[in-house]
């Protein structure tokens, strides 16, 4: 009885978005939603907390910038100074413009790659992981909403979901 | 319909009057002859020259004039042709040449101040027109609620353009010496300019300026006229006409804008050239223009106009401010880094004079135009906070004024620069004129371009 859920399938993202709003309004609780592509505005409609991924990305970018500065300072100034184009490498600040492309690239590299890894870790994705989506059609052209039954009447909930435009409704009872 | 509040009108008129008085003072205060320059320099002596030890040099060595190498008198007496008297006279001549140089720079200073401010506000109007045309050509759905604001700002294009033309014509008729290649005496001794004479000569220069300004003003006139006619039309014919007109304008614009930047700014340094200069000036005018759209929109919104403009529209404008600021930095750095690294004398002099004489302004402006917008507008939520956008917008406008300043000043006033009464007055005068014309023009048509076929999408736009 504890984890009875209903899987409602939709065939259109606008319909899904509308249904999410209706379900929220009727105070039913939504578990997961599986979609074949990111649906714009779905996180807001579901009332999910805003992502903190952007903040981590900013921090990774700063780390990348610092790594680039340290790296170029070691390679070009301290370890093996060279005179390139009449610009002897005696001080970092005087040679800095030449290092800007590297600083930029490493900032982007760190921000992008570490952000992707963070995203994989947070969403518990790794290679050879078994797919969690309950219906294979959610990778093609169907949208699946998981609604917790809880203390509600199953019959009533099913009718309600049918009226929101669900094309298919399944009751899943995990004993 | 928008009505110009008497407060704003008074404010713009006061700005103009104060600016005009300051400018008159600036022109009167110019030293009349070399004697006055001599006095001026004697008065504000910038202290004595402080000698700094070079890297690897100790303080002791600095005091030792011979730097460790003792002077050994030659056994053979060196005979120079010059007598002591002659040498003395040469030094005096050199000083006179220097004073005359400073005298010319100071004579140029108020003209250059007017030129920078006039160009700055003119380029804002031109940048907005380009942005407006892009919206039409891209059939953008988010922006039609802002179209009347953009049309209002472009109203300054024709008056501003006429002022620019008059300033250029005054240079051409030798009322001032902003453009060194216009001086026949200089050209006579300068082979590089002589080779460029078929392009850089006063009549052709003024004809080109007239073509640019007339072309832009005509496109502006037809675009606004069609947009206003579309308001009460039953079909979308006027809209379709504007679509084609905008596409045509953008082609005309990107060619003439590029040439305008060579003519009006790059030719101040007639020996120097940069192939991405047109883009560089374009990015500056584009970001300034978008910033002014955002500022005027937020102002009108605070006065309870523009009911359909919501935070999402401001958010989009702020995204453009953020993005084009970075685009500007990219072009600035591309121009700087290649020239700095290759270190070819004929190219690098441009940056040498800017770094040595204008170091603080030159790098300070990069901080204002890049680091401030980057950090202030990076967060998605901040782009929706109106006062945040206003603060960043003011910084961006200040930064791009300084950008034009360091493009024009080193070639016209050299090391005698100072942001004083003439510069601030010119800014106040043209700022007042700009506000007066723009807000006057906003009263001419309803602020809601209701006939635009994308209006419904724009009204309901949300991010």
Number of Cβ within a 10 Å radius of residue A148:
15
pLDDT tens, N- to C-terminus, chain A (175 residues): 457 889 999 999 899 999 999 998 888 888 889 999 999 889 888 888 888 999 999 999 999 999 999 999 999 999 988 888 777 778 888 889 999 999 999 999 999 999 999 999 998 888 898 888 888 999 999 999 999 888 888 888 888 988 998 888 888 887 6
Q: Say if B363 is an interface residue toward chain A (CB within 8 Å).
A: no
- Put simply, whether the predicted model's pTM sits higher than 0.80 gets the answer yes
User: Strands A83-84 and A168-174: what pairing?
Assistant: unpaired
Rounded Cα distance, B182 and B265, in Å? 14
How far apart are the CA of A121 and the nearest CA of chain B, in angstroms? 24
CA distances from residue B30 to B23, B46, B102, B386, B418 in whole angstroms, order as listed: 11, 20, 11, 43, 13
Query: For A3-36+141-174, CATH number?
Result: 3.30.70.120
Which residue matches tokens 């002022």? B163
Across the interface, whether the CB atoms of A98 and B337 are under 8 A apart is answered: yes
Across the interface, whether the CB atoms of A98 and B343 are under 8 A apart is answered: no
Whether A135 and A144 have beta carbons less than 8 Å apart is answered as: yes
Q: How high is the mean pLDDT of chain B? A: 89
Q: Say if A86 is an interface residue toward chain B (CB within 8 Å).
A: yes
Closest CA to B320 of B295, B286, B297: B286
Nearest to A98 among B55, B341, B378 (CB): B341
Q: Say if A54 is an interface residue toward chain B (CB within 8 Å).
A: yes
Number of Cβ within a 10 Å radius of residue A129:
9
Give long-range contacts, CB 8 A cutoff, 24+ apart: B391-398.
Answer: B392/B318, B392/B321, B393/B291, B393/B292, B393/B294, B393/B295, B393/B321, B394/B295, B395/B368, B396/B287, B396/B288, B396/B291, B396/B321, B396/B325, B396/B368, B396/B369, B396/B372, B397/B288, B397/B291, B397/B292, B397/B295, B398/B368
Report the pLDDT value the prediction gives residue B86, as an integer from 0 to 100: 65
Across the interface, whether the CB atoms of B378 and A97 are under 8 A apart is answered: no
Across the interface, whether the CB atoms of B337 and A97 are under 8 A apart is answered: yes
Two tokens, residue B203: 């009549």
Residue B56: closest CA among chain A residues belongs to which residue? A90
Residue A128, SS3 per DSSP: coil
Which segments in chain B show pLDDT lower than 70? 43-88
Nearest to A97 among B55, B340, B380 (CB): B340
Report the pLDDT value the prediction gives residue A60, as an integer from 0 to 100: 97
Q: Say if A90 is an interface residue toward chain B (CB within 8 Å).
A: yes
Closest CA to A143 of A25, A32, A4: A32
Across the interface, whether the CB atoms of B343 and A86 are under 8 A apart is answered: yes
Nearest to B343 among A85, A100, A101 (CB): A85
Q: Which residues in chain A have their CB less than 8 angstroms from residue B341's CB?
A: 85, 87, 97-98
Q: Which residues in chain B have their CB less than 8 angstroms from residue A95's CB?
A: none
Rounded Cα distance, A101 and B337, in Å? 10
Rounded Cα distance, B238 and B302, in Å? 31
Report the pLDDT value the prediction gives residue B245, as an integer from 0 to 100: 96
Q: Which of A85, A88, A94, A111 to mutate to test the interface with B (most CBs of B within 10 A)?
A: A85
Number of Cβ within a 10 Å radius of residue A132:
9
How far apart are the CA of B457 and the nearest CA of chain A, in angstroms? 16
Which residue matches tokens 């991010």? B463
Q: Which value does ipTM take for this structure?
A: 0.80
Q: Say if B308 is an interface residue toward chain A (CB within 8 Å).
A: no
Across the interface, whether the CB atoms of B340 and A100 are under 8 A apart is answered: no
Number of Cβ within a 10 Å radius of residue B233:
12
How far apart are the CA of B239 and the nearest CA of chain A, in angstroms? 30
Beta bridge partners of A146: A7
How far apart are the CA of A17 and the nearest CA of chain B, in angstroms? 15
The DSSP H or E segment spanning A8 is strand A3-10
Query: How many beta-carbon pairs below 8 A join chains A and B?
Result: 20
Residue A17, SS3 per DSSP: helix
Closest CA to B250 of B227, B216, B211: B216
The DSSP H or E segment spanning B94 is helix B84-137
User: Strands A87-88 and A83-84: what pairing?
Assistant: antiparallel
Residue B344: closest CA among chain A residues belongs to which residue? A85
Closest CA to B148 of B453, B441, B460, B461: B441
Q: Which of B57, B333, B334, B341 to mutate to test the interface with A (most CBs of A within 10 A)?
A: B341
Q: Which residues in chain A have their CB less than 8 angstroms from residue B336's CB?
A: 97
Residue B340: closest CA among chain A residues belongs to which residue? A97
| B200 Cβ contact list (under 8 Å, min separation 6) | B181, B193, B267, B270
Q: Which residues of B62-75 are buried (b: 16+ CB within 10 A; e: fewer)?
A: eeeeeeeeeeeeee
Q: Say if B342 is an interface residue toward chain A (CB within 8 Å).
A: yes
Q: Which residues in chain B have their CB less than 8 angstroms from residue A58's CB?
A: 378
Across the interface, whether the CB atoms of A90 and B55 are under 8 A apart is answered: yes
- Which residue ranges make up each domain of chain A? 3-36+141-174, 53-122
Across the interface, whether the CB atoms of B378 and A58 are under 8 A apart is answered: yes
Rounded Cα distance, B140 and B147, in Å? 11
Two tokens, residue A168: 């298919």
Instruction: Give all strands of the β-sheet with A3-10 in edge-to-edge order.
Output: A30-34, A143-148, A3-10, A168-174
Residue A12, SS3 per DSSP: coil
Rounded Cα distance, A63 and A107, in Å? 7
Rounded Cα distance, B212 and B205, in Å? 11
Closest CA to B177 of B111, B270, B113: B111
Rounded Cα distance, B382 and B246, in Å? 32
């Amino acid at each position: 009885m504890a984890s009875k859920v209903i899987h409602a399938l939709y065939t259109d993202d606008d319909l899904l978005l509308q249904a999410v709003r209706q379900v929220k309004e009727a105070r039913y609780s939504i578990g997961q939603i599986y979609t074949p592509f990111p649906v714009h505005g779905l996180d807001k409609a579901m009332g999910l907390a805003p992502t903190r991924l952007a903040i981590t990305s900013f921090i990774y970018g700063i780390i990348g910038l610092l790594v680039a500065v340290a790296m170029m300072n070691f390679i070009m100034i301290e370890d093996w100074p060279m005179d390139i184009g009449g610009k002897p490498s005696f001080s970092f600040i005087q040679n800095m413009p030449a290092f800007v492309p590297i600083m930029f690239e490493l900032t982007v590299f760190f921000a992008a790659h570490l952000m992707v890894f963070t995203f994989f870790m947070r969403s518990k994705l790794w290679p050879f992981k078994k797919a969690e989506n309950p219906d294979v059609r959610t990778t093609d052209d169907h949208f699946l909403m998981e609604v917790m039954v809880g203390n509600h009447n199953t019959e009533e909930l099913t009718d309600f979901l049918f009226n929101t435009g669900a094309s298919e409704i399944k009751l899943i009872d995990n004993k | 319909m928008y009505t110009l509040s008497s407060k704003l009108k008074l404010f713009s008129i006061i700005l103009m009057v104060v600016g005009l008085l300051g400018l008159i003072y600036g022109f009167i205060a110019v030293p009349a002859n070399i004697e006055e320059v001599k006095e001026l320099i004697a008065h504000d002596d910038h202290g004595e020259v402080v000698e700094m030890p070079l890297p690897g040099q100790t303080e002791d060595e600095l005091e030792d004039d011979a730097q460790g190498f003792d002077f050994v008198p030659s056994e053979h007496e060196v005979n120079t042709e010059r007598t002591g008297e002659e040498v003395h006279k040469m030094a005096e001549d050199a000083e006179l040449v220097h004073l005359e140089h400073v005298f010319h720079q100071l004579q140029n200073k108020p003209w250059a101040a007017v030129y920078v401010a006039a160009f700055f506000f003119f380029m804002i109007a031109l940048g907005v027109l380009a942005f407006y045309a892009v919206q039409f050509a891209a059939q953008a759905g988010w922006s039609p609620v802002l179209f009347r604001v953009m049309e209002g700002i472009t109203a300054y294009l024709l008056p501003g353009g006429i002022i620019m033309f008059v300033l250029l014509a005054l240079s051409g008729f030798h009322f001032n010496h902003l453009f060194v290649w216009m001086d026949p005496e200089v050209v006579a001794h300068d082979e590089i300019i002589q080779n460029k004479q078929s392009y850089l000569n006063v009549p052709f220069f003024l004809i080109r300026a007239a073509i640019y300004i007339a072309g832009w003003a005509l496109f502006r006139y037809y675009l606004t006229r069609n947009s206003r006619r579309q308001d009460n039309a039953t079909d979308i014919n006027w809209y379709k006409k504007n679509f084609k007109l905008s596409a045509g304008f953008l082609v005309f614009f990107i060619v003439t804008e590029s040439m305008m930047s060579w003519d009006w700014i790059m030719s101040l340094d007639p020996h120097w050239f940069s192939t991405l200069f047109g883009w560089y000036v374009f990015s500056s005018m584009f970001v300034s223009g978008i910033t002014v759209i955002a500022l005027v929109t937020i102002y009108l919104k605070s006065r309870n106009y523009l009911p359909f403009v919501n935070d999402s529209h401001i958010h989009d404008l702020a995204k453009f401010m953020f993005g084009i600021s970075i685009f500007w930095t990219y072009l600035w750095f591309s121009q700087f880094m290649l020239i700095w690294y290759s270190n070819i004398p004929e190219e690098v002099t441009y940056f040498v004079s800017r770094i040595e004489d204008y170091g603080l302004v030159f790098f300070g402006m990069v901080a204002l135009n890049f680091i401030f917008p980057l950090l202030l507008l990076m967060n998605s939520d901040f782009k929706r906070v109106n006062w945040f956008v206003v603060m960043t917008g003011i910084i961006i406008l200040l930064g791009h004024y300084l950008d034009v300043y360091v493009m024009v000043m080193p070639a016209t006033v050299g090391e005698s620069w100072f942001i004083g009464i003439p510069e601030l007055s010119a800014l106040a005068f043209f700022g007042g004129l700009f506000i007066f014309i723009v807000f006057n023009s906003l009263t001419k048509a309803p602020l809601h371009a209701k006939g635009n076929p994308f209006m419904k999408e724009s009204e309901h736009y949300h991010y």
